[in-house]
Amino acid sequence: MNGFLQIVRRDLHLAMRQGMDSLMVVAFFVIAVVLFPFGVGPESNILARIAPGVIWVAALLSSMLSLERLFQADYEDGSLELLALQPVALEITVMAKVTVHWLTTGLPLIVAAPLLAVLMNLPDDGFVPLMIALALGTPALSLIGAIGAALILGSRRGGILLSLLVLPLYIPVLIFGVSAVDAVIGGFSARPQLLILSGLLVAALPLCPWAGAAAVRQGIE
């Protein structure tokens, strides 16, 4: 746990020194959602209908913006090899980096989501399930993305390859995240969808750091 906290503090400090990365993620999220009213028109009923899907797709794409740099910066300056040689298990290192990625990317997206939901005319009863779904879904996105970020270490055109690897795996999170909000708006319970999102997160917590660590080992060999 001490090694985990040290890596989290180190990466948070580096992220704060490069604060523009987090700001760009939030700015992309806001701009992507704001463009939809201009594209589909200001009709409130249409915006309310597409609001959950628009917010979730924008959040998904925004979380991918910083995934390429999850391990790449440490890989380029040799720090990743030193982290792998530490007595701390590499899976713990991967989990610490995922935690920092969520704190600097996923959490700001959750904070910005209610304002964009108001812009998209989301019904009042959809706010709570939207926030809960994002709170469950964004950590899963970071965990799944860590596998793709580890697999592209040392490759050219890594951003394109990362998108091809990760986007298909994001689809279940997207489907159940959107359907949780749609269910409440339609007068049904969101409990089944939220339980499935919780199950995806619980499954990703042990599996993704293990798979990510294996990919990192292969990348630095």
* Contact by Cβ (8 Å): 132, 46: no
Block residue for tokens 């939030």: 26
* Contact by Cβ (8 Å): 138, 110: yes
pLDDT in tens, 152-207: 886 766 677 888 889 999 999 999 999 999 999 988 999 999 999 999 999 999 99
Task: Report the predicted TM-score, pTM, of the whole model to 2 decimal places.
Answer: 0.89
107 exposure class (CB count in 10 Å sphere: 0-12, 13-18, 19+): middle
pLDDT in tens, 38-58: 888 888 888 989 999 999 999
Residue 51: the pLDDT is 93
- Give the residue, 17 or 37, on which the prediction is more confident: 37
What is the longest distance spanned by two Cα atoms in the chain? 58
Q: Measured between alpha carbons, how far is 164 from 110 in angstroms, rounded to an integer?
A: 25
Residue 31: the pLDDT is 93
Residue 1: the pLDDT is 65
Q: Which residues contact 176 (CB under 8 A, 6 or more apart)?
A: 133, 137, 193, 196, 197, 200
Q: Which residues contact 175 (CB under 8 A, 6 or more apart)?
A: none
Q: Measured between alpha carbons, how far is 59 from 142 in angstroms, rounded to an integer?
A: 11
pLDDT band, very low/low/confident/very high, at 220 (cuts 50, 70, 90)? confident
N-to-C CA span, the chain: 26
Q: Measured between alpha carbons, how far is 146 from 177 in angstroms, rounded to an integer?
A: 20
Residue 161: the pLDDT is 83
- Lowest-pLDDT choice from 46-60, 75-89, 136-150, 161-175: 75-89
Q: Which residues contact 143 (CB under 8 A, 6 or more apart)?
A: 98, 201, 204, 205, 208, 209
